Structure 1
Amino acid sequence: MSAQFLIERPEFDPATGVARFAYALAGKRFVEVLTLPTGAPAEAAAGPSFRKLLDLTALVLGVSYFKLTAPLELSAPDLPLTEGERAFVIDVYENGLGEFYARNNLMRFGKLSITGPDDKTVIPTIALPDRALLPIGGGKDSLVSVELLQAAGVAFTPFAVNPRGPILTSIDKIGTEPVYVTRTLDAEMIRLSSEPGYYNGHVPSTAINSMIAALCAVLFGYNRIVLSNERSASEGNVVFDGRETNHQYSKSLGFELLISDVLGNATGGALQYFSLLRPYSEARIASFFSRETKFDNVFSSCNRNFRLTGNDGPLWCSECPKCHFVFLIFAPFMAKERLLSIFGKNLLDVPANEGSFRELAGLAGQKPWECVGEILEAAACLYSLTRHADWHEDAVVRAIKADLFSQYGEPALQAALAECLTDSHDHHIPPALAAKVAAYAL
């Protein structure tokens, strides 16, 4: 098999909104297609900012094909890159694929290289209207961002790639016309992912969707891409190959700062990229969500809703770590009857769930490979339930209580609970907007 992954220069047809991204690996050629909305101004599609972002998008989308064999060398002979962009791409292929390497026992950190021409050009500042593109994931986080932006009086447009299930129902409830993009993966890549001799695993979907959002921001005029990534997304899962690996790496603050610089430089400083929820813990975000009921029957964080094969079951499977974690962080802040109506059952009163909650709270195993919050945060929420009239008699809470107190101690759990509800100053939100959001958070 080839020891090189080739990324070709992508093509875009503004008349149809179709962008094509071609790759070659192990003697095979793959083509991925993005279908963007039509009607963008011709000058936006022809400008240097869009060309640069299209090239960078090709590099980031490539992770889905690269991981079939995970070679050490990336080749982009027709994609000029600055030094910063080169470092960004390597970060996406190293840390962005950290979970993939760990779970396939592949040593790649510090070993990858990318060949291609240097880019010394400086892109001039482009004019972008003062409004936000807001990716909607169908879960609680982006819907809290909706509330925060509305409270701050910020104009925004919902955005999604391949919208389905709770994404569609949530955007329908928001009531604002969205921007949708269709992403069509190469069918042969999907087939090979399950074949012997090829690897498969997690890719940095937030990085991928962020680059697609950047294309739309430049084409249709948005000066901000507003993410909904909480501070706990920066916590990793395990140490592998001498480095912390994080299921949520492309949601982390470290990655946010990297991609923000890259997108800013590609637009002459015109395009901002930041997470509106970075100051908050998952528990704090759950407390915000609990103030409003209109999304109760349409949102879901359960990953079964977003499988390629679709989901013909309920919004919440009630069996996965993601369902368990979301239930746990809502319990201290939401009326029990309301929470049970959302999930359809009490996940804390099912003895079979005990092992999953133990992992979430750091009492067994490792932090699950899921978009869940910090271990100490989960432990703090469980601690609060041991003192809560609605929850302290439930089977899981009773079963875990003694070990929870023994491992952490009550003073540490009290401190952790207080810390969960204290907003962090470690974020990248523009100061004026941060002040407006802080006023809502009181």
Structure 2
Amino acid sequence: MFKTKREQQILYHFMNITPNTDKYLKMRDKFIFLSFESYTYSLKNNIFSVEFNFNLADKYSFHPTLTFPARDFNKWKNAPEELIQNIVFHIGMVELISYWKAACPPKVIIKPHILNAKQIAFWKKVYFNGLGEFFYLNNINASIDDFMEIQADIGSELKKTDIMTDDSVIIPIGGGKDSVVTLELLKNFGKNNLPLIMNPRNASLETAQIGGYLRENIIEISRSIHPQLLELNKQGFLNGHTPFSALLAFVTLLSAVFTGKRNIALSNESSANEATVENTTVNHQYSKGYEFEHDFRTYVNTYITSSINYFSFLRPLSELQIGSLFAKYPKYFASFKSCNVGSKTDIWCGNCPKCLFSFIILSPFIKRKNMISIFGKDMLNDESLRFYFEQLIGIENVKPFECVGTVDEVNVAINMIIKQIPQNEMPLLLKYYQTLSYYAQYENINLHSFLNTFNDEHFLETEFVKILKDKI
């Protein structure tokens, strides 16, 4: 994969690749199983709480929790018990991923409920692909056939349950540009849309509030990781990225049941389908991609309920198209944030690939002075970001392990920016770009066609397609 030892060193430095194959094998020998022992849930003082019980080889136990706070729009008593039970169990199946990756035991034992062969195949696929980045960055050579065995034949059977719903929409909010666009475009669809935020932070709360929602009209969900897992991480157990959007999918499903909403509109775009590592299936955004969306919808419709319509509203669009739409809503410029490094302090760190990508994808549509104000500097004039820049434009065969756009749209965006800036004011990274073959390759691309493309690989119903097409 690497042309030179120096290239390997650079990639290891910037991407935190750690050769953990030996540790992986030793962990699997020492911790031979992880069991999903049980789950409990309760409703007290109008607060719905969930707790899971996981057991790692009789050596460690974990008890992660979820809390749905009191809100007037939650109709707890209208939700069928068997459906709540079904979804809570499935939330536990996703939560289990975070605890499995600590030691990667070869056997996973599911005790609460039975899963058939097709369900087990679904879960093995979610675990394996959702942990693709984890395997890659830990240098673990695993295959979907032998990385784990799921045993789920000793519990009770769950049944699919349908309910009555209205046509309004739950809109998950992350605090970035994508959910802003969905929130704004769906404002006039449905009478009682509800934003949903998992573990609220300033950027996500401000997005919902700027969008016109009072705090009491926001679904706020608190998720806790059990402290024992954090302690194991400190001790050197295996660690890495897990498919958060898969967890979000099942959690939003439960919220839809509690609120009686038919539609769950995610803000994942077509760009999420592109692999992070060239010529592989490793994708940081696997659970944001079309394949997972397809599999999830099929699974839910078969085994849980046919009453909820989970889809990504922005799936037909690219990151560049979403950037052009976001630029029409300047009231969000000061509050939106997509930086994972700065998420805890609610800032753009200005030094990571996600910040650089966001700067590039928005710059064709937002004035340069405004971009500098948002990010605190001209990121395209920062030579220290050159490696990330090269990853984003495709010089490196591995993109940053962040939610970033395709190589094509980054190159198109850069060419659009270059055309807007006088040569004597050209930032350092753009001057460098002008020396590369990519500049000529993308310089004369048909921008109208690129910005008006509507990807047909989506699950939008007719009324949602119309809303989107009217805006691009």
Q: Give TM-score, length-normalised by structure 1.
A: 0.91
Deviation at 1:41, TM superposition (A): 4.0
Deviation at 1:261, TM superposition (A): 1.9
Deviation at 1:170, TM superposition (A): 1.4
Q: Is the 8 A contact 1:128 1:221 kept in 2?
A: yes
Query: What's 2:460 paired with?
Result: 429
Q: Is the 8 A contact 2:167 2:263 kept in 1?
A: yes
**Correspondence for 1:4 among 29, 33, 40:** 33
Query: What's 1:33 paired with?
Result: 65
**Correspondence for 2:432 among 399, 404, 408:** 399
Cα distance, 1:52–1:175 mapped onto 2, change above 3 Å: same
Alpha-carbon distance in 1 for matches of 2:299, 2:156 = 13
RMSD of equivalent CA atoms: 2.3
Alpha-carbon distance in 1 for matches of 2:258, 2:270 = 30
Query: What's 1:385 paired with?
Result: 417
Query: What's 1:99 paired with?
Result: 133
Query: What's 1:150 paired with?
Result: 187
SS at match of 2:435: helix
Cα distance, 1:6–1:192 mapped onto 2, change above 3 Å: same
SS at match of 1:172: helix
Q: Deviation per CA, 1:118-143, whole angstroms, max 9, x where unpaired?
A: 88765242112222111100100000
Q: Is the 8 A contact 2:341 2:352 kept in 1?
A: no
SS at match of 2:90: helix
Q: Deviation per CA, 1:383-417, whole angstroms, max 9, x where unpaired?
A: 222322368722211111121xx247436861588
Alpha-carbon distance in 2 for matches of 1:101, 1:411 = 34
Query: What's 1:323 paired with?
Result: 355
Query: What's 2:369 paired with?
Result: 337
Cα distance, 1:411–1:92 mapped onto 2, change above 3 Å: closer
Gaps (5+ residues) in structure 2? 1-29
Q: Deviation per CA, 1:305-336, whole angstroms, max 9, x where unpaired?
A: 43xxx32xx62111100000010011111122
Alpha-carbon distance in 2 for matches of 1:86, 1:417 = 45
Mean Cα displacement is larger for which, 56-65 or 41-50?
Answer: 41-50
Q: Deviation per CA, 1:408-442, whole angstroms, max 9, x where unpaired?
A: 74368615884354221111111222122211x23
Deviation at 1:105, TM superposition (A): 1.9
Alpha-carbon distance in 1 for matches of 2:377, 2:176 = 19
Query: What's 1:277 paired with?
Result: 314
Any residues of structure 2 matched to 1:140-289 within 5 Å, and which? 140-152=177-189, 155-176=192-213, 177-196=217-236, 198-238=237-277, 243-289=280-326
Alpha-carbon distance in 2 for matches of 1:305, 1:324 = 13
Cα distance, 1:42–1:280 mapped onto 2, change above 3 Å: closer
Q: Which residue identity does 2:296 align to in structure 1?
A: I
Q: Is the 8 A contact 1:283 1:421 kept in 2?
A: no
SS at match of 2:51: strand
Q: Which residue identity does 1:238 align to in structure 2?
A: V
Alpha-carbon distance in 1 for matches of 2:387, 2:76 = 56
Aligned residues: 431
Cα distance, 1:233–1:434 mapped onto 2, change above 3 Å: same
Query: What's 1:76 paired with?
Result: 110
Alpha-carbon distance in 2 for matches of 1:305, 1:45 = 38
Alpha-carbon distance in 1 for matches of 2:314, 2:393 = 22
Deviation at 1:236, TM superposition (A): 0.9
Query: What's 2:7 paired with?
Result: none
Q: Which residue identity does 1:219 align to in structure 2?
A: F
Alpha-carbon distance in 1 for matches of 2:274, 2:469 = 23
Cα distance, 1:137–1:413 mapped onto 2, change above 3 Å: farther
Q: Which residue identity does 2:331 align to in structure 1?
A: K
Deviation at 1:285, TM superposition (A): 0.2
The answer on 1:371 being equivalent to 2:403 is yes
SS at match of 1:34: strand
Q: Deviation per CA, 1:78-108, whole angstroms, max 9, x where unpaired?
A: 2222444322211221101110011112233
Alpha-carbon distance in 2 for matches of 1:64, 1:161 = 17
SS at match of 1:426: coil
**Correspondence for 1:20 among 51, 66, 70:** 51
SS at match of 2:63: strand
Q: Which residue identity does 1:23 align to in structure 2?
A: F
SS at match of 1:304: coil
SS at match of 1:131: strand
Alpha-carbon distance in 1 for matches of 2:361, 2:188 = 23
SS at match of 1:126: coil
Deviation at 1:14, TM superposition (A): 2.1
Cα distance, 1:359–1:257 mapped onto 2, change above 3 Å: same
Gaps (5+ residues) in structure 1? none
Alpha-carbon distance in 1 for matches of 2:448, 2:110 = 48
Any residues of structure 2 matched to 1:305-316 within 5 Å, and which? 305-306=342-343, 310-311=344-345, 315-316=347-348
Q: Is the 8 A contact 1:49 1:267 kept in 2?
A: yes
Q: Percent identity?
A: 29
Query: What's 1:114 paired with?
Result: 150
Alpha-carbon distance in 1 for matches of 2:372, 2:244 = 30
Alpha-carbon distance in 2 for matches of 1:335, 1:84 = 51
Any residues of structure 2 matched to 1:56-75 within 5 Å, and which? 56-75=90-109
Q: Which residue identity does 1:168 align to in structure 2?
A: L
Query: What's 2:328 paired with?
Result: 291
Mean Cα displacement is larger for which, 247-256 or 157-166?
Answer: 157-166
Q: Is the 8 A contact 1:9 1:79 kept in 2?
A: no
Mean Cα displacement is larger for which, 406-415 or 137-146?
Answer: 406-415
Deviation at 1:267, TM superposition (A): 4.5
Alpha-carbon distance in 1 for matches of 2:166, 2:96 = 30
Alpha-carbon distance in 1 for matches of 2:132, 2:310 = 23
Deviation at 1:280, TM superposition (A): 0.8
Alpha-carbon distance in 2 for matches of 1:271, 1:338 = 40
SS at match of 1:372: coil
Alpha-carbon distance in 2 for matches of 1:411, 1:320 = 25
Alpha-carbon distance in 2 for matches of 1:420, 1:361 = 18
